[in-house]
Structure 1
Amino acid sequence: MNATDRTLAGLLSAALSDDPSRPLVTYYDDATGERVELSVTTFDNWVAKTANLLQDELSAEPGDRLALLLPAHWQTAVWVLACASVGVVTDLTGDPSAADLVVSGPDTLDAARSCPGERVALSLRPLGGRFPQPPEGFTDYAVEVPGQGDRFVPYAPVDPDAPALALPDGSELTGAQAVERARQDAAARGLEPGSRLLSALPYDGWEGLSAGLLAPLAAGGSVVLAPRLERLDAASLEQRVENERVTHTAA
Protein backbone atom coordinates (compact mmCIF):
# COMPACT_ATOMS: atom_id res chain seq x y z
CA MET A 1 0.00 0.00 0.00
CA ASN A 2 1.47 3.36 -1.02
CA ALA A 3 0.95 6.74 0.64
CA THR A 4 -1.81 7.75 -1.78
CA ASP A 5 -3.88 4.70 -0.80
CA ARG A 6 -3.88 6.00 2.78
CA THR A 7 -5.40 9.42 2.06
CA LEU A 8 -8.99 10.50 1.55
CA ALA A 9 -8.06 11.96 -1.82
CA GLY A 10 -6.63 8.55 -2.68
CA LEU A 11 -10.07 6.99 -2.20
CA LEU A 12 -11.43 9.30 -4.89
CA SER A 13 -8.50 8.53 -7.20
CA ALA A 14 -9.22 4.82 -6.80
CA ALA A 15 -12.89 5.35 -7.65
CA LEU A 16 -11.87 7.33 -10.72
CA SER A 17 -9.67 4.47 -11.89
CA ASP A 18 -12.28 1.79 -11.23
CA ASP A 19 -15.40 3.24 -12.86
CA PRO A 20 -15.37 6.97 -13.60
CA SER A 21 -18.85 7.11 -15.15
CA ARG A 22 -20.83 5.60 -12.28
CA PRO A 23 -22.86 7.81 -9.92
CA LEU A 24 -21.03 8.76 -6.73
CA VAL A 25 -23.13 11.42 -4.98
CA THR A 26 -26.84 11.97 -5.57
CA TYR A 27 -28.26 14.88 -3.57
CA TYR A 28 -31.90 15.67 -2.77
CA ASP A 29 -33.30 18.81 -1.20
CA ASP A 30 -36.83 17.77 -0.39
CA ALA A 31 -37.74 21.33 0.57
CA THR A 32 -37.15 22.63 -2.96
CA GLY A 33 -37.39 19.50 -5.10
CA GLU A 34 -33.76 19.79 -6.18
CA ARG A 35 -31.97 16.64 -7.31
CA VAL A 36 -28.32 16.63 -8.35
CA GLU A 37 -26.41 13.54 -9.44
CA LEU A 38 -22.65 13.60 -9.81
CA SER A 39 -20.69 10.82 -11.42
CA VAL A 40 -17.22 10.01 -10.13
CA THR A 41 -15.76 12.05 -13.00
CA THR A 42 -17.97 15.08 -12.36
CA PHE A 43 -17.40 14.95 -8.62
CA ASP A 44 -13.64 14.69 -9.17
CA ASN A 45 -13.80 17.72 -11.47
CA TRP A 46 -15.50 19.78 -8.75
CA VAL A 47 -12.93 18.60 -6.22
CA ALA A 48 -10.05 19.55 -8.53
CA LYS A 49 -11.46 23.02 -9.16
CA THR A 50 -12.07 23.58 -5.45
CA ALA A 51 -8.61 22.32 -4.51
CA ASN A 52 -7.07 24.69 -7.06
CA LEU A 53 -9.11 27.53 -5.57
CA LEU A 54 -7.83 26.60 -2.11
CA GLN A 55 -4.20 26.25 -3.10
CA ASP A 56 -3.77 29.01 -5.69
CA GLU A 57 -6.35 31.67 -4.90
CA LEU A 58 -6.71 31.30 -1.13
CA SER A 59 -3.05 30.35 -0.51
CA ALA A 60 -3.99 27.41 1.69
CA GLU A 61 -1.13 25.14 2.74
CA PRO A 62 -0.90 21.64 4.26
CA GLY A 63 -1.69 21.85 7.95
CA ASP A 64 -3.94 24.91 7.67
CA ARG A 65 -7.30 24.52 9.39
CA LEU A 66 -10.56 25.18 7.58
CA ALA A 67 -13.77 25.59 9.58
CA LEU A 68 -16.49 23.94 7.49
CA LEU A 69 -19.84 25.52 8.37
CA LEU A 70 -22.02 23.74 5.84
CA PRO A 71 -24.92 21.29 6.09
CA ALA A 72 -25.00 17.87 4.47
CA HIS A 73 -24.88 18.85 0.80
CA TRP A 74 -23.10 17.72 -2.34
CA GLN A 75 -20.92 20.83 -2.25
CA THR A 76 -19.91 20.05 1.33
CA ALA A 77 -18.73 16.63 0.17
CA VAL A 78 -16.67 18.38 -2.51
CA TRP A 79 -15.01 20.62 0.07
CA VAL A 80 -14.07 17.68 2.32
CA LEU A 81 -12.23 15.96 -0.53
CA ALA A 82 -10.72 19.22 -1.80
CA CYS A 83 -9.25 19.94 1.63
CA ALA A 84 -7.89 16.41 1.73
CA SER A 85 -6.31 16.92 -1.69
CA VAL A 86 -4.39 19.98 -0.50
CA GLY A 87 -3.58 18.66 2.99
CA VAL A 88 -5.82 21.20 4.75
CA VAL A 89 -7.45 20.01 7.98
CA THR A 90 -11.25 19.99 7.69
CA ASP A 91 -12.72 21.13 11.01
CA LEU A 92 -16.35 20.03 10.99
CA THR A 93 -18.51 22.76 12.57
CA GLY A 94 -15.25 24.24 13.89
CA ASP A 95 -14.68 27.62 15.53
CA PRO A 96 -14.04 30.11 12.71
CA SER A 97 -12.09 32.42 15.00
CA ALA A 98 -9.49 29.70 15.51
CA ALA A 99 -9.29 28.68 11.84
CA ASP A 100 -7.07 29.81 8.99
CA LEU A 101 -9.99 29.72 6.57
CA VAL A 102 -13.74 29.34 6.80
CA VAL A 103 -16.33 28.05 4.37
CA SER A 104 -19.88 29.10 5.19
CA GLY A 105 -23.39 28.60 3.97
CA PRO A 106 -25.95 31.43 3.95
CA ASP A 107 -27.14 30.69 7.49
CA THR A 108 -23.75 30.88 9.22
CA LEU A 109 -22.25 34.04 7.70
CA ASP A 110 -22.34 35.99 10.96
CA ALA A 111 -20.37 33.33 12.81
CA ALA A 112 -17.96 32.93 9.88
CA ARG A 113 -16.99 36.61 10.02
CA SER A 114 -14.91 35.90 13.13
CA CYS A 115 -12.36 34.05 10.98
CA PRO A 116 -9.19 36.16 10.65
CA GLY A 117 -8.24 34.48 7.36
CA GLU A 118 -9.90 33.83 4.02
CA ARG A 119 -13.67 33.45 4.00
CA VAL A 120 -15.66 31.63 1.34
CA ALA A 121 -19.44 31.66 1.10
CA LEU A 122 -21.76 29.22 -0.67
CA SER A 123 -25.34 30.14 -1.48
CA LEU A 124 -26.34 26.43 -1.60
CA ARG A 125 -28.86 27.41 -4.26
CA PRO A 126 -29.91 24.84 -6.89
CA LEU A 127 -27.30 23.99 -9.51
CA GLY A 128 -24.55 25.63 -7.47
CA GLY A 129 -25.91 29.12 -8.12
CA ARG A 130 -24.23 32.29 -6.88
CA PHE A 131 -25.54 34.78 -4.33
CA PRO A 132 -27.82 37.48 -5.79
CA GLN A 133 -25.67 39.90 -3.78
CA PRO A 134 -22.22 38.62 -2.69
CA PRO A 135 -21.78 38.74 1.11
CA GLU A 136 -19.36 41.48 2.10
CA GLY A 137 -15.99 40.13 3.17
CA PHE A 138 -16.47 36.74 1.48
CA THR A 139 -15.38 35.09 -1.73
CA ASP A 140 -18.46 33.81 -3.57
CA TYR A 141 -17.59 30.18 -4.33
CA ALA A 142 -19.96 29.98 -7.29
CA VAL A 143 -18.28 32.98 -8.92
CA GLU A 144 -14.68 31.86 -8.40
CA VAL A 145 -14.70 28.09 -8.82
CA PRO A 146 -15.80 27.72 -12.49
CA GLY A 147 -12.61 29.33 -13.78
CA GLN A 148 -10.29 27.04 -11.82
CA GLY A 149 -8.34 24.24 -13.47
CA ASP A 150 -9.94 20.85 -14.06
CA ARG A 151 -6.87 19.00 -12.88
CA PHE A 152 -5.21 19.38 -9.50
CA VAL A 153 -1.63 18.69 -8.47
CA PRO A 154 -0.61 19.62 -4.90
CA TYR A 155 2.55 21.63 -4.44
CA ALA A 156 3.59 19.12 -1.77
CA PRO A 157 2.48 15.48 -1.41
CA VAL A 158 -0.18 15.00 1.25
CA ASP A 159 1.17 13.21 4.32
CA PRO A 160 -1.26 10.38 5.25
CA ASP A 161 -0.09 10.58 8.85
CA ALA A 162 -0.85 14.30 9.21
CA PRO A 163 -4.18 15.49 10.65
CA ALA A 164 -6.98 15.52 8.07
CA LEU A 165 -10.24 15.78 10.02
CA ALA A 166 -11.06 17.60 13.24
CA LEU A 167 -14.32 16.35 14.75
CA PRO A 168 -16.77 18.23 16.98
CA ASP A 169 -15.94 15.98 19.97
CA GLY A 170 -12.41 17.39 19.97
CA SER A 171 -10.74 14.37 18.39
CA GLU A 172 -8.68 14.44 15.21
CA LEU A 173 -8.05 11.84 12.55
CA THR A 174 -5.09 11.61 10.23
CA GLY A 175 -5.79 10.82 6.61
CA ALA A 176 -4.72 7.22 7.14
CA GLN A 177 -6.95 6.87 10.21
CA ALA A 178 -9.93 8.36 8.37
CA VAL A 179 -9.44 5.98 5.45
CA GLU A 180 -9.16 2.96 7.73
CA ARG A 181 -12.20 4.01 9.73
CA ALA A 182 -14.21 4.56 6.54
CA ARG A 183 -13.27 1.07 5.34
CA GLN A 184 -14.26 -0.42 8.69
CA ASP A 185 -17.60 1.40 8.59
CA ALA A 186 -18.20 0.18 5.04
CA ALA A 187 -17.58 -3.40 6.12
CA ALA A 188 -19.80 -3.00 9.20
CA ARG A 189 -22.65 -1.70 7.03
CA GLY A 190 -22.17 -4.47 4.50
CA LEU A 191 -21.28 -2.05 1.71
CA GLU A 192 -19.63 -3.39 -1.41
CA PRO A 193 -18.99 -2.20 -4.97
CA GLY A 194 -22.29 -1.00 -6.42
CA SER A 195 -23.99 -0.43 -3.06
CA ARG A 196 -26.27 2.63 -2.85
CA LEU A 197 -26.55 4.09 0.66
CA LEU A 198 -29.40 6.50 1.41
CA SER A 199 -28.30 8.86 4.19
CA ALA A 200 -30.36 11.46 6.01
CA LEU A 201 -27.65 12.13 8.60
CA PRO A 202 -26.16 15.61 9.00
CA TYR A 203 -22.48 16.30 8.34
CA ASP A 204 -21.94 17.37 11.96
CA GLY A 205 -19.68 14.52 13.01
CA TRP A 206 -17.99 11.34 11.89
CA GLU A 207 -21.15 9.22 11.66
CA GLY A 208 -22.87 11.50 9.16
CA LEU A 209 -19.74 12.17 7.12
CA SER A 210 -18.91 8.48 6.97
CA ALA A 211 -22.40 7.34 5.98
CA GLY A 212 -22.96 10.30 3.68
CA LEU A 213 -19.68 10.10 1.78
CA LEU A 214 -16.62 8.28 3.05
CA ALA A 215 -17.84 4.73 3.70
CA PRO A 216 -19.62 4.39 0.32
CA LEU A 217 -16.57 5.90 -1.38
CA ALA A 218 -14.25 3.44 0.38
CA ALA A 219 -16.47 0.51 -0.62
CA GLY A 220 -16.75 1.42 -4.28
CA GLY A 221 -20.39 2.34 -3.79
CA SER A 222 -22.34 5.58 -3.89
CA VAL A 223 -24.48 7.75 -1.64
CA VAL A 224 -27.95 9.22 -1.97
CA LEU A 225 -27.75 12.24 0.31
CA ALA A 226 -31.16 13.41 1.52
CA PRO A 227 -30.85 15.46 4.73
CA ARG A 228 -34.53 16.52 4.63
CA LEU A 229 -35.90 13.05 4.17
CA GLU A 230 -38.40 13.57 7.01
CA ARG A 231 -40.47 15.62 4.57
CA LEU A 232 -41.41 12.47 2.66
CA ASP A 233 -44.34 10.27 3.58
CA ALA A 234 -43.93 6.51 3.66
CA ALA A 235 -45.09 6.00 0.08
CA SER A 236 -42.77 8.70 -1.27
CA LEU A 237 -39.85 7.25 0.67
CA GLU A 238 -40.54 3.80 -0.71
CA GLN A 239 -40.64 5.26 -4.21
CA ARG A 240 -37.32 7.06 -3.61
CA VAL A 241 -35.68 3.84 -2.48
CA GLU A 242 -36.94 2.05 -5.59
CA ASN A 243 -36.07 4.83 -8.04
CA GLU A 244 -32.54 5.26 -6.68
CA ARG A 245 -31.89 1.51 -6.34
CA VAL A 246 -31.03 2.01 -2.66
CA THR A 247 -29.45 -1.02 -1.00
CA HIS A 248 -28.64 0.41 2.45
CA THR A 249 -29.94 3.25 4.62
CA ALA A 250 -28.62 5.49 7.41
CA ALA A 251 -31.08 7.77 9.15
Structure 2
Amino acid sequence: MNATERTPADLLSAALVADPARPLVTFYDDATGERVELSVATFANWVAKTANYLQGDLAAEPGDRLALLLPAHWQSAVWLLACSAVGVVAEVGGDPAAADLVVSGPDTLDAARGCSGERVALALRPMGGRFPQPPAGFADYAVEVPGQGDRFAPFAPVDPEAVALVVGGERLTGAGIGARALADARAAGMPEAPRVLSGLPYATWQGLSYGLYAPLATGGSVVLCRHLDQLGADGAAARETSEQVTVKAPPAVS
Protein backbone atom coordinates (compact mmCIF):
# COMPACT_ATOMS: atom_id res chain seq x y z
CA MET A 1 0.00 0.00 0.00
CA ASN A 2 1.48 3.36 -1.03
CA ALA A 3 0.49 6.98 -0.56
CA THR A 4 -2.07 6.87 -3.35
CA GLU A 5 -3.67 3.62 -2.14
CA ARG A 6 -5.14 4.76 1.14
CA THR A 7 -8.84 4.05 1.47
CA PRO A 8 -10.58 0.76 0.67
CA ALA A 9 -11.89 2.36 -2.53
CA ASP A 10 -8.31 3.27 -3.47
CA LEU A 11 -7.18 -0.30 -2.81
CA LEU A 12 -9.92 -1.65 -5.03
CA SER A 13 -8.94 0.75 -7.82
CA ALA A 14 -5.33 -0.43 -7.55
CA ALA A 15 -6.41 -4.08 -7.67
CA LEU A 16 -8.46 -3.36 -10.78
CA VAL A 17 -5.42 -1.94 -12.53
CA ALA A 18 -3.11 -4.75 -11.38
CA ASP A 19 -5.19 -7.81 -12.30
CA PRO A 20 -8.91 -7.34 -13.00
CA ALA A 21 -9.50 -11.01 -13.82
CA ARG A 22 -8.30 -12.57 -10.58
CA PRO A 23 -10.83 -13.72 -7.97
CA LEU A 24 -11.47 -11.28 -5.14
CA VAL A 25 -14.54 -12.57 -3.26
CA THR A 26 -15.79 -16.15 -3.30
CA PHE A 27 -18.98 -16.44 -1.27
CA TYR A 28 -20.62 -19.56 0.12
CA ASP A 29 -23.91 -19.89 1.98
CA ASP A 30 -23.80 -23.37 3.46
CA ALA A 31 -27.46 -23.20 4.48
CA THR A 32 -28.55 -22.93 0.84
CA GLY A 33 -25.64 -24.35 -1.15
CA GLU A 34 -25.02 -21.04 -2.89
CA ARG A 35 -21.57 -20.28 -4.31
CA VAL A 36 -20.69 -17.04 -6.06
CA GLU A 37 -17.24 -16.01 -7.24
CA LEU A 38 -16.53 -12.40 -8.16
CA SER A 39 -13.39 -11.30 -9.94
CA VAL A 40 -11.87 -7.92 -9.13
CA ALA A 41 -13.55 -6.49 -12.24
CA THR A 42 -16.99 -7.90 -11.45
CA PHE A 43 -16.81 -6.83 -7.82
CA ALA A 44 -15.65 -3.34 -8.82
CA ASN A 45 -18.57 -3.09 -11.25
CA TRP A 46 -21.04 -3.87 -8.46
CA VAL A 47 -19.30 -1.29 -6.28
CA ALA A 48 -19.50 1.38 -9.01
CA LYS A 49 -23.20 0.73 -9.60
CA THR A 50 -23.93 0.79 -5.87
CA ALA A 51 -21.90 3.97 -5.33
CA ASN A 52 -23.77 5.66 -8.20
CA TYR A 53 -27.06 4.61 -6.62
CA LEU A 54 -25.93 5.80 -3.20
CA GLN A 55 -24.71 9.17 -4.44
CA GLY A 56 -27.37 9.76 -7.09
CA ASP A 57 -30.74 8.22 -6.28
CA LEU A 58 -30.25 8.22 -2.50
CA ALA A 59 -28.55 11.67 -2.47
CA ALA A 60 -25.95 10.52 0.08
CA GLU A 61 -23.04 12.86 0.77
CA PRO A 62 -19.65 12.51 2.47
CA GLY A 63 -20.15 12.29 6.21
CA ASP A 64 -23.68 10.88 6.03
CA ARG A 65 -24.26 7.90 8.29
CA LEU A 66 -25.48 4.61 6.85
CA ALA A 67 -26.68 1.87 9.20
CA LEU A 68 -25.59 -1.39 7.57
CA LEU A 69 -27.79 -4.21 8.86
CA LEU A 70 -26.38 -7.06 6.79
CA PRO A 71 -24.58 -10.34 7.57
CA ALA A 72 -21.22 -11.36 6.16
CA HIS A 73 -22.17 -11.59 2.48
CA TRP A 74 -20.67 -10.57 -0.85
CA GLN A 75 -23.29 -7.82 -1.20
CA SER A 76 -22.34 -6.48 2.24
CA ALA A 77 -18.76 -6.21 1.01
CA VAL A 78 -20.00 -4.29 -2.03
CA TRP A 79 -21.86 -1.81 0.17
CA LEU A 80 -18.82 -1.27 2.39
CA LEU A 81 -16.67 -0.39 -0.61
CA ALA A 82 -19.41 1.77 -2.15
CA CYS A 83 -19.63 3.76 1.09
CA SER A 84 -15.86 4.25 0.96
CA ALA A 85 -16.08 5.50 -2.62
CA VAL A 86 -18.76 8.09 -1.76
CA GLY A 87 -17.40 9.06 1.64
CA VAL A 88 -20.43 7.80 3.56
CA VAL A 89 -19.79 6.46 7.07
CA ALA A 90 -20.74 2.77 7.19
CA GLU A 91 -22.01 1.92 10.68
CA VAL A 92 -22.10 -1.88 10.83
CA GLY A 93 -25.09 -2.88 12.94
CA GLY A 94 -25.72 0.81 13.61
CA ASP A 95 -28.89 2.32 15.05
CA PRO A 96 -31.23 3.07 12.14
CA ALA A 97 -32.99 5.79 14.12
CA ALA A 98 -29.70 7.72 14.38
CA ALA A 99 -28.66 7.15 10.75
CA ASP A 100 -29.30 9.17 7.61
CA LEU A 101 -30.12 6.02 5.66
CA VAL A 102 -30.30 2.29 6.25
CA VAL A 103 -29.46 -0.83 4.26
CA SER A 104 -31.11 -3.97 5.58
CA GLY A 105 -31.28 -7.67 4.95
CA PRO A 106 -34.58 -9.57 5.13
CA ASP A 107 -34.19 -10.44 8.82
CA THR A 108 -33.77 -6.87 10.11
CA LEU A 109 -36.51 -4.99 8.27
CA ASP A 110 -38.49 -4.18 11.42
CA ALA A 111 -35.48 -2.56 13.06
CA ALA A 112 -34.59 -0.75 9.83
CA ARG A 113 -37.99 0.97 9.78
CA GLY A 114 -36.68 3.12 12.61
CA CYS A 115 -34.72 5.14 10.04
CA SER A 116 -36.51 8.29 8.90
CA GLY A 117 -34.28 8.59 5.82
CA GLU A 118 -33.86 6.42 2.74
CA ARG A 119 -34.29 2.68 3.28
CA VAL A 120 -32.87 -0.03 1.03
CA ALA A 121 -33.56 -3.75 1.42
CA LEU A 122 -31.58 -6.72 0.12
CA ALA A 123 -33.21 -10.11 -0.28
CA LEU A 124 -29.77 -11.85 -0.12
CA ARG A 125 -31.08 -14.44 -2.56
CA PRO A 126 -28.76 -16.43 -4.84
CA MET A 127 -27.23 -14.42 -7.68
CA GLY A 128 -28.41 -11.16 -6.12
CA GLY A 129 -32.08 -11.92 -6.76
CA ARG A 130 -34.87 -9.52 -5.86
CA PHE A 131 -37.66 -9.89 -3.32
CA PRO A 132 -40.73 -11.75 -4.64
CA GLN A 133 -42.69 -8.87 -3.10
CA PRO A 134 -40.75 -5.69 -2.20
CA PRO A 135 -41.08 -4.86 1.51
CA ALA A 136 -43.23 -1.81 2.17
CA GLY A 137 -41.24 1.36 2.76
CA PHE A 138 -38.03 0.04 1.17
CA ALA A 139 -36.36 0.23 -2.21
CA ASP A 140 -35.32 -3.22 -3.49
CA TYR A 141 -31.58 -3.12 -4.13
CA ALA A 142 -31.79 -5.82 -6.79
CA VAL A 143 -34.31 -3.72 -8.74
CA GLU A 144 -32.61 -0.34 -8.37
CA VAL A 145 -28.92 -1.09 -8.90
CA PRO A 146 -28.52 -3.07 -12.15
CA GLY A 147 -29.39 -0.03 -14.29
CA GLN A 148 -26.86 2.25 -12.61
CA GLY A 149 -23.69 3.39 -14.38
CA ASP A 150 -20.66 1.13 -14.60
CA ARG A 151 -18.22 3.93 -13.79
CA PHE A 152 -18.23 6.06 -10.67
CA ALA A 153 -16.82 9.49 -9.88
CA PRO A 154 -17.61 11.18 -6.56
CA PHE A 155 -19.31 14.56 -6.62
CA ALA A 156 -17.01 15.68 -3.80
CA PRO A 157 -13.49 14.54 -2.86
CA VAL A 158 -13.36 11.90 -0.14
CA ASP A 159 -11.14 12.79 2.80
CA PRO A 160 -9.08 9.70 3.72
CA GLU A 161 -8.68 11.06 7.25
CA ALA A 162 -12.43 11.33 7.86
CA VAL A 163 -14.28 8.62 9.77
CA ALA A 164 -15.40 5.97 7.28
CA LEU A 165 -16.36 2.95 9.37
CA VAL A 166 -17.95 2.31 12.75
CA VAL A 167 -17.94 -1.29 14.00
CA GLY A 168 -18.07 -2.74 17.49
CA GLY A 169 -17.75 0.72 19.02
CA GLU A 170 -14.59 1.50 17.03
CA ARG A 171 -14.35 4.41 14.60
CA LEU A 172 -11.85 4.14 11.76
CA THR A 173 -10.88 6.58 9.06
CA GLY A 174 -10.65 5.54 5.43
CA ALA A 175 -6.87 5.57 5.58
CA GLY A 176 -6.97 3.86 8.96
CA ILE A 177 -8.92 0.92 7.55
CA GLY A 178 -6.26 0.15 4.97
CA ALA A 179 -3.36 0.64 7.38
CA ARG A 180 -4.91 -1.49 10.09
CA ALA A 181 -5.87 -4.25 7.67
CA LEU A 182 -2.29 -4.37 6.40
CA ALA A 183 -0.99 -4.52 9.96
CA ASP A 184 -3.43 -7.35 10.72
CA ALA A 185 -2.17 -9.29 7.71
CA ARG A 186 1.43 -8.92 8.84
CA ALA A 187 0.60 -9.89 12.42
CA ALA A 188 -1.22 -13.00 11.20
CA GLY A 189 1.72 -13.98 9.00
CA MET A 190 -0.31 -13.84 5.80
CA PRO A 191 1.75 -14.63 2.71
CA GLU A 192 1.79 -12.40 -0.34
CA ALA A 193 -1.59 -12.43 -2.12
CA PRO A 194 -3.24 -14.70 0.48
CA ARG A 195 -6.32 -16.79 -0.13
CA VAL A 196 -8.20 -16.25 3.14
CA LEU A 197 -11.09 -18.39 4.36
CA SER A 198 -13.37 -16.67 6.85
CA GLY A 199 -16.58 -17.75 8.53
CA LEU A 200 -16.53 -14.77 10.90
CA PRO A 201 -19.48 -12.38 11.04
CA TYR A 202 -19.04 -8.81 9.85
CA ALA A 203 -20.18 -7.46 13.23
CA THR A 204 -16.58 -7.05 14.48
CA TRP A 205 -13.41 -5.51 13.10
CA GLN A 206 -11.78 -8.95 13.10
CA GLY A 207 -14.56 -10.30 10.88
CA LEU A 208 -14.27 -7.36 8.50
CA SER A 209 -10.49 -7.56 8.40
CA TYR A 210 -10.22 -11.27 7.62
CA GLY A 211 -13.40 -11.27 5.55
CA LEU A 212 -12.60 -8.30 3.30
CA TYR A 213 -10.06 -5.63 4.14
CA ALA A 214 -6.88 -7.63 4.82
CA PRO A 215 -7.15 -9.69 1.61
CA LEU A 216 -7.86 -6.48 -0.33
CA ALA A 217 -4.91 -4.64 1.23
CA THR A 218 -2.47 -7.47 0.44
CA GLY A 219 -3.50 -8.25 -3.13
CA GLY A 220 -5.26 -11.43 -2.06
CA SER A 221 -8.76 -12.83 -2.05
CA VAL A 222 -11.32 -14.09 0.44
CA VAL A 223 -13.46 -17.21 0.63
CA LEU A 224 -16.33 -15.76 2.65
CA CYS A 225 -18.53 -18.41 4.24
CA ARG A 226 -21.93 -17.91 5.83
CA HIS A 227 -23.24 -20.76 8.02
CA LEU A 228 -19.84 -22.46 7.80
CA ASP A 229 -20.65 -24.44 10.96
CA GLN A 230 -23.20 -26.43 8.96
CA LEU A 231 -20.48 -27.82 6.71
CA GLY A 232 -18.79 -30.05 9.30
CA ALA A 233 -15.08 -30.64 9.82
CA ASP A 234 -14.60 -32.87 6.78
CA GLY A 235 -16.49 -30.49 4.53
CA ALA A 236 -14.53 -27.50 5.80
CA ALA A 237 -11.25 -29.30 5.17
CA ALA A 238 -12.35 -30.21 1.65
CA ARG A 239 -13.23 -26.59 0.96
CA GLU A 240 -9.82 -25.40 2.10
CA THR A 241 -8.26 -27.78 -0.40
CA SER A 242 -10.59 -27.06 -3.30
CA GLU A 243 -10.35 -23.29 -2.83
CA GLN A 244 -6.57 -23.37 -2.33
CA VAL A 245 -6.84 -21.55 0.99
CA THR A 246 -3.55 -20.31 2.45
CA VAL A 247 -4.91 -18.56 5.58
CA LYS A 248 -7.82 -19.41 7.88
CA ALA A 249 -9.53 -16.86 10.08
CA PRO A 250 -9.55 -17.83 13.75
CA PRO A 251 -12.78 -19.10 15.32
CA ALA A 252 -15.25 -16.45 16.44
CA VAL A 253 -15.00 -15.49 20.11
CA SER A 254 -18.34 -16.08 21.82
Query: TM-score scaled to structure 2, two decimals?
Result: 0.96
**Structure 2 matches for 1:200-211, cutoff 5 A?**
200-211=199-210
Give the letter for the 1:57 counterpart: D
Number of the residue aligned with 1:189:
188
Report if the CA contact (8 A) 2:193-2:215 is conserved.
Answer: no
TM-superposed deviation, 1:206 = 0.6
Q: Report whether the alignment pairs 1:29 with 2:29.
A: yes
Number of the residue aligned with 1:100:
100
Give the Cα separation in 1 of the matches to 2:93 and 2:225: 19
Percent identical: 68
Report if the CA contact (8 A) 1:191-1:221 is conserved.
Answer: no
Tell me whether 235-244 or 113-122 shows the greater mean CA deviation.
Answer: 235-244
TM-superposed deviation, 1:168 = 2.4
Structure 1 outlier segments of 4+, above 6 Å: none
Number of the residue aligned with 1:165:
165
- Helix, strand or coil at the partner of 2:61: coil
* Equivalent residues, number: 249
Give the Cα separation in 1 of the matches to 2:186 and 2:158: 26
Report if the CA contact (8 A) 1:94-1:168 is conserved.
Answer: no
Number of the residue aligned with 1:60:
60
Give the Cα separation in 2 of the matches to 1:238 and 1:82: 33
**Structure 2 matches for 1:1-251, cutoff 5 A?**
1-2=2-3, 4-169=4-169, 171-250=170-249, 251=251
Tell me whether 183-192 or 29-38 shows the greater mean CA deviation.
Answer: 183-192
Q: Residue deviations 1:199-222, cap 9 Å, x none?
A: 000000111001100001001000
Query: Structure 1: where are the runs of 5+ without partners?
Result: none
Q: Residue deviations 1:62-89, cap 9 Å, x none?
A: 0000000000000000000000000000
TM-superposed deviation, 1:167 = 1.7
Query: Structure 2: where are the runs of 5+ without partners?
Result: none
TM-superposed deviation, 1:231 = 0.7
- Helix, strand or coil at the partner of 1:61: coil
TM-superposed deviation, 1:233 = 2.0
Q: Residue deviations 1:120-171, cap 9 Å, x none?
A: 00000000000000001101000000000000000111100111001222x2
Query: TM-score scaled to structure 1, two decimals?
Result: 0.97
- Helix, strand or coil at the partner of 1:147: coil
TM-superposed deviation, 1:19 = 1.0
